Amino acid sequence: MLKGSIVALVTPFNADGSVNYDELGKLIDYHCDNNTGGIVILGTTGEASTISFAEEEEIVKFSVKRCNHRIPLIVGSGSNETEKAINYSKKYSELGADYVLVITPYYNKTNESGLIKHFEAVANASKCPVIMYNVPGRTGMSMSIHALEVLSKHPNIYGIKEASGNISYSAKVSRILSKDFHMFSGNDDIIVPMMSIGAEGVISVLANIAPKQTAKICELCEKGNYVEANKIQKDLLPVINDLFIEVNPIPVKEAMNHLGFNVGGYRAPLDYMADNNREKLFSDLDSNKEIIF
C-alpha cells in the first residue's frame, strides 16, 4: 500500500543540459535508504514538460532498474491530449512503473464528461494503477467532486494527488475515500491537516532535502499524533515556504546544490533564482540544518 512521504524527485542535469544518470541513481538510493515511501519521477518537480519522450523512456528504464522494487516508483505520464496520456501510461507501466501519475488536461482543459472519459481511457490502457493529479494552479482547472465520485469507482484508479491547497475542497474529496480510493496531499505546508481528513501521505517537494523529517510527519499523523506532527511541520515551514518563493523546481534545485547534491540547473524557460530570494533560501537552510537533517 502506497503511503507516507513520497518524494517528487528532481531530474538532475549535467552542465550541457543532458540527464545526469550518476546523480539520479544516487538520489534514488538516498531515498530508498531514508524512509521515503515512494518516488515520483517525471512530475512537475522533475521538469517533465521540457524532457523529450525518448529521454523520458530512458529515465524510466534507468529508474525502474535502480529502484529495483525497494520502494514504489510512480511515473508522471499525463498530457492534455488523451491519446498521448494513454500511450505514455501504457508504455511506462509496461516498462515497470508501479503507478502512473496523470495530471488533468491543461490549457485546452475540458468539460466534466471529457474529463471523466480522459481518465477512464488512460486507466483502461495502463497496466498499473493510476493516480490522478489535481493542481488547478498549474492547469487552470479543478476536478469536480462528481467526476471524482465516478472515477473513484474505476478498478484501476488508485487515488488522487490533491494539490489545490483548498482544504474545503479536500474535505469533500475525503467523503469519497475508501479502501480502493486514496488521497495524497500535494502541498508540503498542509500535510498535517490533509492527513487529519484522510490523506495517506504527501507527494512532496520538501522530501528532496528533508526525507526523514517529511516521513516523520506522516508517521506521526498515521498514529494520530497530530500535535507532534504539527510541531515538526511548523518548524519546517520557513524552508517549505522558501521552496516555493519562485516557481518549482527552481528553489528546490538551488537548495539541493547548496546542501551538497549535484543536481545541476534547469531547462529553459526556467532560470536561476533572483539573488535576494537565493540569499533568503540559503539563510533559512543554514539556520535550520538541525531540523532538516
Q: Where are the alpha helices (DSSP H) in the chain?
A: 21-32, 53-67, 82-95, 112-125, 136-139, 145-151, 167-174, 191-196, 211-222, 226-242, 250-258, 275-287, 289-292
Answer yes or no: are the C-beta atoms of 202 and 191 closer than 8 Å. yes
User: How many Cα atoms within 13 Å fall on the side-chain side of residue 128?
Assistant: 22
Could you count the other beta carbons within 10 Å of the beta carbon of residue 139?
Answer: 19
Among the listed residues 3, 90, 91, 161, the single catalytic one is 161
Q: Which three cell numbers stand for residue 224?
A: 494520530
Q: Which residues contact 140 (CB under 8 A, 6 or more apart)?
A: 106, 107, 109
231 is catalytic: no
CA gap 1, 257 in Å, rounded: 32
133 is catalytic: yes
CA gap 290, 293 in Å, rounded: 5
Residue type, 152: S
Evaluate the CA torsion angle 208, 214, 219, 224 in order and state its sign. negative
Among the listed residues 88, 92, 133, 266, the single catalytic one is 133
Q: Which three cell numbers stand for residue 264?
A: 545541476
Catalytically active residues, by annotation? 133, 161
